[in-house]
Structure 1
Amino acid sequence: MISKEQKVKAKEFQAHHHNNKMLLIPNAWNAGSAKVFENQGFKAVATTSAGIAYSLGYADGEIIELDDLLLVTKQIIKRVNLPLSIDMERGYADDPYKVKQNIGNILKAGAVGINLEDGRPDGKLDDIELQLEKIQAISELKKELDLPFVINARTCAFWLKVGSPIENMEMAIKRSNAFLKAGADCVFVPGLLEKNSIINLLSNIDGPLNTIANPLYHDLEGLQKLGVSRLSLGSGPVRASYAKLIQTSNEIIEKGDISSLIEHDFSYAEANRYFAK
């Protein structure tokens, strides 16, 4: 059952993609990380398939199961009041109507946005016609559930480097515009994109653009001025967290040094206060 509160969050999340302020959206991997993002003042939160996979001890790439994702969705909804978008990878099915069913279950759990990608684990892109059928099928849920959730359609042309830089740009633009016509609300073009590439995408895509934080161009104010609608942090936060955990573990094993565990201000009492909010 879709609640009135969920419909309000969905409308709020939609609005974030159509105003003059770029939505900076962090990607959580469990309820705890989502709670941190909420406490620190973000306006919405999305999940990261990579982060959820890592938290379960797997590599990324369609290895986790839909039940895992559904459980994380419910856990985040239980503790966080922000609009929540779920990374559905390729929809956990090839059949468009099975994808629709899977996403319907995620929305019924409380999500107000989904991310659907066309990049396959083998490094290729799904056939564009299949991806359009998936988006069209998903779009039917808006009326069926009376929920204006956000469909963020991702093309992995740059992410997977399927062709030359020029070919990747052409594919990203073609697919993005086709996705928007099929019912997507926003298109996501992740990858190592420098400023001119982002300008080119913005000039040729007829709808809101979502990019990902990357080392080639990460000037938040600059991205805002260019007209990027949504910037994802992606797996950056979870990788930074695990990098620190790995470093700390190495210091303990190799040097017998536990100083990094105690030389900080996040005490047991402070942690309890923080997560009690």
Structure 2
Amino acid sequence: MTRADQAFRSLHDEGLLLLANATDAGSARIVEARGGRAVATSSAALAWSWGYRDGNQLPLELLRTSVQAMARVLSVPLSVDIEGGYSDDPEEVATVVEAVLAAGAVGINLEDGHASPEIFCRKIAAARRVAEARGVDLFINARTDVYLKGLVAPEQRLAETLTRADFYSSAGADGLFAAGMVDSDEIGELCRSIELPVNLLYRPGLPEIDTLRELGVRRLSAGSAIAEFLYGAGADMAADFMATGRLSTQNLSACTYREMNELMPPV
């Protein structure tokens, strides 16, 4: 039987991997039951499920508990978004990676955010050391926030992303997550210019799936979009029930990322 880590890695060589990011064990099981070849967490959705804001605030023990619960019900590979590793200290990031691997993950998302590429490379290297020590062929998906968080001027974004892709690949990354990139010309240039499989984040305005395949994209993530709709639908149904005593599925709408994040109390 193929090991989960090897199976997850091979999925990036078999066309476009679609990841309907999960919130908890129940949603993870649903994704698998509906045909998901792998399950990935949304860091925001997972944090909200525990009442925390997205942004490196979720306590490690709660992260570990969530990963264990998901791994228990899954027979497909599990990848976990650990944000920026919850620290800029590579050794603390290593502790987080150790925890999620022990809980059953075989892939991670690790994001650079506003940290320097040099610091981020040290985080990647630390994650790789932990995985090798555990004998796990960990798939490290390096997310760069150049586009998503506007780290450089618009005319510099593609060049900066290409530069970071080289840095991160040399540090031990297995994939590049160019979150926020939506322009087809830039997507095509990125896919042609780097060896790492390219992951994109669902956004309105993103090219259609067949176009993404033609451009060479290897992974597409829903991110927190599914959770935003589900929480919004739950809010609408709860409000309607408290007002009328009836349950209605009419006129449901998604919450926004900002609405959900600001709803959670600050740490």
% same residue: 34
Amino acid at match of 1:37: V
Q: Which moved more, 1:251-260 or 1:145-154?
A: 251-260
**Does the 8 Å contact 2:110/2:140 carry over to 1?**
yes
**Does the 8 Å contact 1:192/1:216 carry over to 2?**
no
Partner of 1:46: 40
Deviations 1:143-172 (A, max 9, x none): 311111100011001010122212222221
Partner of 1:18: 13
**Does the 8 Å contact 1:192/1:215 carry over to 2?**
no
Measure, in 2, the Cα distance between the counterparts of 1:246 and 1:205: 43
Instruction: Identify unmatched segments of 5+ residues in structure 1.
Output: 120-124, 262-277
Measure, in 1, the Cα distance between the counterparts of 2:28 and 2:108: 16
Measure, in 2, the Cα distance between the counterparts of 1:111 and 1:70: 10
**Does the 8 Å contact 1:31/1:72 carry over to 2?**
yes
Instruction: Give 1:256 shift.
Output: 4.7
Aligned with 2:223 (options 220, 227, 234): 234
1:160 match: secondary structure: coil
Number of equivalences: 250
Instruction: Give 1:173 shift.
Output: 1.4
1:148 match: secondary structure: coil
* 1:89 correspondence with 2:89: no
1:114 match: secondary structure: strand
Measure, in 2, the Cα distance between the counterparts of 1:28 and 1:201: 27
2:3 match: secondary structure: helix
Deviations 1:24-82 (A, max 9, x none): 11211100010110110010011111001221223311221111110000000111111
Measure, in 1, the Cα distance between the counterparts of 2:172 and 2:84: 16
**Does the 8 Å contact 1:27/1:235 carry over to 2?**
yes
Give 1:145-184 correspondences, 5 Å limit.
Answer: 145-184=134-173
**Does the 8 Å contact 2:128/2:138 carry over to 1?**
no
Runs of 4+ in 1 over 6 A off after TM superposition: none
Measure, in 1, the Cα distance between the counterparts of 2:237 and 2:95: 42
Partner of 2:255: none
Give 1:45-124 correspondences, 5 Å limit.
Answer: 45-119=39-113
Give 1:20-39 correspondences, 5 Å limit.
Answer: 21-39=15-33
Instruction: Give 1:131 shift.
Output: 0.7
Taking only aligned residues, the RMSD between alpha carbons, in angstroms, comes to: 1.7
Partner of 2:249: 260
